[in-house]
Each structure stands twice: as C-alpha cells, then as structure tokens.
Amino acid sequence: MRRIHFSRNIGFINVILFSLLLGSLATSLAWAGCNGGVHTIHAKSANETILDDKEGLQAATAVQRVFRNIAKSVGPAVVSINVVQNAVQGNPYDGFGDDFFRFFFGDREPQRRRSVTAGSGFIIDEKGYVLSNFHVVRQASEITVIMLNGTEYKAKLVGSDSASDIALLKIDGSSAFPTVALGDSDDLDVGDWTIAIGNPFNLPGTFTVGVVSAKSRGDQLNAPYQNFLQTDTAINPGNSGGPLVNIRGEVVGINTMIYSRTGGSLGIGFAVPVNIAKDVVAAILKDGKFERGYVGIYPGAIDEKMRAALKLPPETGVMVNSVIENGPAAKAGMKDGDVILEIDGKKITSVPQLQRLIADIPAGKSVPFVVQREWKKITLSISITQRPSEEEEVKKDEGRQGESKEWLGLKVAPLNSVNPAQLRRLGIAPNETGVLIAGFAPNASETDLAAGDVIKEINYAPINTMDDFNKFIRAEGTKKSFIFKIKRQGEMRYIAVNT
C-alpha cells in the first residue's frame, strides 16, 4: 500500500509541475515584446490608432517642429533682467509708490531699502538695444541683463513711456547680439497661436503656448493709451517685459500683466501690442523721449440720466470733472462742468477715446475744442503741451489737500481729484462712484479699512460723491457704530467700525 500511495503522490506532483509549466508559458507569451512593464496589447492598440491617422500626425508633428524652431531661434535673444531699487520706506502705502498719499499719512522718518526684482526683455538690435516694461525697471539704481547662456551685462535706461509701460535699455558687448524679428500686431486675430518666452519665477528660458483670447483690451482695464492683447498663454511673475511671439516666430507683443487672484497664471494675460512699442522706440531713438499731448483736465464719463438732463444724443460727450489750475485748458477758459463734444472735428464718445486723441496731438499745436456749457455750444482753442511725467502729476496732486475731508480719523478725497495713473494702480475704473480713503490721521483708531479703499455705502446709505459723504457725517456722524461697504481692488466687502 505504501508503494501504491507513493506512486499516486508522484502522479499528483507531475500534474502540479505540468500546470506550472503551462502557466509560465502562457505568461511568457502574454508579456513577450512588452516594454517597461506596459502590456503590449493596450500599447499596441493605442499606437496603431495614432499611427493610422497619418495626416493628423503629420500636421501635429509639423506644429511641434515649428515650436521647437521658435524656441531655438527666438530663445537666445530673450533675456532676464535683474533690477536693484533703492526705495524709501516710511509710508505704509508705499507699495503704490505714490508720493500723493504721503500727505494724508503724515511724514515719517524715511529709510532707504534696497530690493532686487526680476523681469524679462528681448534684444531688438544687434547693437544691444533691449525692449522691456517700464514697470520692470522703474526707480532702478542698477540694471543687469542676463543672457540665456548666463552671460551678464550692465544696462542703462535709454528712454521710457510709463503710460504704455515700455522701456528701452542698452547693453554693450564685444560682438553682435542675437535679435528677434518684430511682427505686425494688427494682423493678429482671436484664436491665433501665441508663445511667451521669459523668466517667470526666475526660471529663464521658460516657453509657454496659447492663443490670442481677445484684442483691444484697454478701456476695460482703465488703460486709455493701450490696446492690450489678451492671451491664455501662461504668463507669471517675471514674464513681464518678455516677448509674446506668433507662429512665425515674430514678436507681436510685450507681456505686461496678468489677471490673478493667486499671484499665478489663471489663463488671462495681457501684452502691449508691438506696434505701439515700435512708435515709442522710434521716438526715443530719435529724440531721446516719447511725448504725449496734454490739456490739463480730469475727465469723467456721462451716465444716461446726466445725458438726458444735458439733452445729449447717445454716446456723445465727456464731462470735465475738474480743470487743473494753470494748465492749457484752464488758460483757454475751460471750466468744471463743461462737456467736450468735439476735438479738432472728431466727435468725442468716451473718456479713453478722448485721452488717446489728446495724447496723439503734438505739443505746440492749437486745437479747437467744441464744448457744451449750460446747454450752449462754444468753441475753445487750446494749445496742447507735453504731458507731464507721473512724478510731476503726483506733485501737483499733493497740493489738492483742500479737497480732502477727515472723519473718524479717515482722510478721504473725491475720485476726480486723483490722477488717472494713480486710479489705475488702485484698480479703480474711470467712471467709479464713491469717495477714496486716501489715508489716516495719526490718532485714527485701528480698523480693517485701508488706504485705497473706495467707500460705496455707510450704514447702507449710498456714498456716490463727497456731498453724500458730508451729508452722512452731518446727519449720522456722531453714532458709535458704522457698517462700511467698500470696494478694494475690484472686490466689494463690508467692514464694521466701532468708535
């Protein structure tokens, strides 16, 4: 019996070994030809699907080849720009860099602060001319341009235009520099390919791809001298000043800013059209500066109720909210409350259109302005002058302290007393209603209100003008608790203030 039992065990073992052999053989067949542990059946099916579409694959590969060629040809001419700024500390709102606010905050002992910022640029001439953004190099005490290969050059600012945010730099080298080709931004259409190359987050040579999302984004962004290109090409901090390139490898824009709630790209970026940059660069190289016309007014949009009261047709006219003392308009007899209907025969329809039209008039030229004053049309001849720099405009605003009011330690001012450049930085639209918190008295109580906030309501009472603000103070100002509705960088919020 033992022998018989042993024989049966041997037979059972043989069956097991044979089964294992068959399993091993099946596994080997199934995995034969596999690469990196990926099953051949699935990989082969996907690969065959792609390869079968020969026409599509060829088209995609051709586009990929174009992108590679753009990176190789344009990339070496794109530079990183490091800027050393010596800023003055002491103003709690110094982030805006506006001396206008210093009056409202009171003087503090200034301290020098050295900071280093980074941006991008691109070489437009083999002699070493570099195009970038004005805001990248603003208030720079030292500018360093860094090539893609790491070579560094000290740069000097040749000229700039703050309104269009364009700066022209110059570097010197022993040999010709690589350059980019400038395209025609007017030829772009929504949906066209765009490529951004630059130095986001100090990562030089970063290459991102997208399309033109929209054109002529100027009025919506309170930027009257701009017609921004909007793109979904990824643009991040550090891309400013770098090129936006079309599918032909030509620069069609200068990456300038992004819309973001996080500080990173949300797919909404803006670039200065290169055609605007061409005009600025040509003027700087010829005359050393770029001039814009100036008349010395603070214009405002006209709403439908006001238009009906003034008996004006739709989309006609711009209100003169205030006339700057001793400016060209004041000398010609223009007054607060006048409505500008025409300039040199051109009908006026909006504030941005008016500002662009005036900016394009050469300094020294006398131009007829048709205005409506108390329902009567009159014509004024205004001699256009060169537009002051932002710094000069800020100094003028410092003297407008008579227009500010103080209550609860707040120092507020009417929006039309602040120049448009400052309003843009605060994210305030040209037709915004409300009053601006310009600062605080030294003994002001600590609250969540901040300089730059626009007061829209107090205790649910609308605050559209300084008159509304003053009426509220007279009627309700002695209360101990207030609910403020304010607008801060485009967002509404409610803030409680207790005295």
Question: Is residue 203 situated within a structural domain?
Answer: yes
Question: Going along 416-490, which residue ranges are E strands?
Answer: 435-440, 454-458, 461-462, 481-488
pLDDT at 46: 58
Give the C-alpha separation, 179 to 33, whole Å. Answer: 49
Structure tokens at 184: 């025609």
Report yes or no on whether pTM surpasses 0.85.
Answer: no
CA 322 to chain centre: 28
One domain for residues 357 and 372: yes
One domain for residues 277 and 309: no
Domain boundary (386, 417, 452) is at 386
Q: Mean pLDDT score of the chain, rounded to an integer?
A: 80
What is the count of structural domains for the chain? 3
Alpha-carbon Rg for the chain in angstroms? 32
One domain for residues 255 and 144: yes
Q: Are 422 and 383 in contact (CB under 8 A)?
A: no
Of 439, 448, 450, 453, which Cα lies nearest the Cα of 407?
Answer: 439
One domain for residues 331 and 437: no
pLDDT at 98: 43
97-125 pLDDT, tens digit per residue, is 444 444 344 444 444 445 678 899 999 99
Give the C-alpha separation, 116 to 429, whole Å. Answer: 31
Q: Are 317 and 299 in contact (CB under 8 A)?
A: no
Q: What sections of 1-82 are H helices per DSSP?
A: 2-31, 40-52, 54-74
Residues 6+ apart with CB under 8 A from 180: 74, 77, 78, 122, 123, 124, 243, 245, 250, 251
pLDDT at 94: 41
Structure tokens at 15: 């069956």
Give the C-alpha separation, 241 to 157, whole Å. Answer: 14
One domain for residues 236 and 302: no
SS3 content of the chain, % helix, strand, coil (to 5): 30, 35, 35
> What's the CATH number where 353 sits?
2.30.42.10
pLDDT higher than 90, residue 478: no
Task: Please report, for residues 64, 116, 397, 413, the alpha-carbon distance to residue 83 in angstroms, rounded to integers and kept in the order given.
Answer: 35, 5, 28, 34
One domain for residues 311 and 382: yes
Least confident of 204-213, 305-314, 375-384, 392-401: 392-401
- How many CA atoms does the CB half-sphere of 352 hold within 13 Å? 17
181-201 pLDDT, tens digit per residue, is 999 999 999 999 999 999 998
Question: Is residue 204 situated within a structural domain?
Answer: yes
Task: Work out the percent of the chain whose per-residue pLDDT is above 70.
Answer: 76
352-373 pLDDT, tens digit per residue, is 889 888 988 888 899 999 999 9
Question: Is residue 475 situated within a structural domain?
Answer: yes
31-79 pLDDT, tens digit per residue, is 444 454 555 555 555 567 777 788 888 888 999 999 999 999 999 999 9
One domain for residues 261 and 377: no
pLDDT higher than 70, residue 304: yes
One domain for residues 456 and 337: no
Split at pLDDT 50, 70, 90, the class of 481 is confident
DSSP label of 241: T
Torsion of CA 230, 232, 238, 240, to 10 degrees: -20
Domain boundary (358, 386, 414) is at 386
> What's the CATH number where 226 sits?
2.40.10.120
Q: Are 404 and 465 in contact (CB under 8 A)?
A: no
One domain for residues 344 and 361: yes
Over residues 453-464, mean pLDDT = 90
Least confident of 197-201, 381-385, 418-422, 459-463: 418-422
Give the C-alpha separation, 420 to 347, whole Å. Answer: 22
Give the C-alpha separation, 364 to 306, whole Å. Answer: 34
Give the C-alpha separation, 155 to 147, whole Å. Answer: 12
pLDDT at 309: 83
The larger pLDDT score, comparing residue 55 to residue 249, is at 249
Degrees to nearest 5, angle at CA 178 with 176 and 184: 125
Question: Is residue 104 situated within a structural domain?
Answer: yes
Question: Is residue 163 situated within a structural domain?
Answer: yes
Question: Is residue 231 situated within a structural domain?
Answer: yes
One domain for residues 367 and 381: yes
Task: Please report, for residues 176, 236, 438, 440, the alpha-carbon distance to residue 446 in angstroms, rounded to integers and kept in the order given.
Answer: 58, 35, 15, 10
Task: Just list the catalytic residues.
Answer: 135, 165, 240
Task: Work out the percent of the chain whose per-residue pLDDT is above 90.
Answer: 39
Q: Are 80 and 204 in contact (CB under 8 A)?
A: yes
Q: Are 296 and 330 in contact (CB under 8 A)?
A: yes
Least confident of 145-149, 166-170, 233-237, 243-247: 233-237
Structure tokens at 209: 């791809």
Question: Going along 227-344, which residue ranges are E strands?
Answer: 228-231, 243-245, 250-258, 269-273, 293-294, 297-300, 318-323, 339-343
Of 205, 198, 202, 203, which Cα lies nearest the Cα of 231?
Answer: 198
pLDDT at 398: 43
One domain for residues 216 and 315: no
Question: Is residue 19 situated within a structural domain?
Answer: no
Q: At what angle do helices 40-52 and 54-74 cross, to 10 degrees?
A: 80
Domain boundary (226, 261, 289) is at 289
Beta-strand relationship, 454-458 and 461-462: antiparallel
pLDDT higher than 50, residue 384: yes
Over residues 422-427, mean pLDDT = 69
Q: Across 81-95, 170-184, 356-370, which has the greatest mean pLDDT?
A: 170-184
Over residues 394-402, mean pLDDT = 44
Question: Is residue 23 situated within a structural domain?
Answer: no
Range of the domain at 213: 50-289
pLDDT higher than 80, residue 399: no
pLDDT at 111: 44
One domain for residues 269 and 382: no
Side chain identity at residue 188, one-letter code: L
